[in-house]
Amino acid sequence: MKAKQSRAKTRAPRGRAKAGPNKRAAKPKTTRRDRLDDFIDAAARALDLPVRPSWRPAIRVNLQVTLRQAALFADFPLPDDAEPAPLFQA
């Protein structure tokens, strides 16, 4: 029985090719806005609130923490027979 010979394809080293008439030029990188930035802008418009650029990082961090806590609450499994607690008054 003859042993099978593996034929590995060799590739030429990849270099940077110049964009010629048949090659597409690389697209310029665009800065992609985050969904939280869009949410901040939409909420500010809806509530007619001015948002200074210096406030954006604090608003962003607050929203990230709030959404992370909400995800923990929303993902908590409840049994089908769960009932709300009775109302207690002091």
Q: pTM (2 decimals)?
A: 0.51
Give domain status of residue 9, yes or no.
Answer: no
Segments forming the whole domain that contains residue 66: 35-74
Give domain status of residue 61, yes or no.
Answer: yes
Which of 27, 26, 28, 51 lies closest to 38, judged by CA? 51
Give domain status of residue 57, yes or no.
Answer: yes
- Please identify which residue in the block is written with the tokens 């310029």: 28
DSSP three-state, residue 58: helix
Give domain status of residue 15, yes or no.
Answer: no
Give domain status of residue 54, yes or no.
Answer: yes
Give domain status of residue 40, yes or no.
Answer: yes
Structure tokens belonging to residue 10: 């060799």
pLDDT score for 2: 54
Number of domains in the chain: 1
pLDDT tens figures, 77-90: 888 888 888 887 87
pLDDT tens figures, 30-80: 566 789 999 999 999 999 999 999 999 999 999 999 999 999 888 888 888
Spatial CB neighbours of 43, under 8 Å, sequence gap ≥ 6? 49
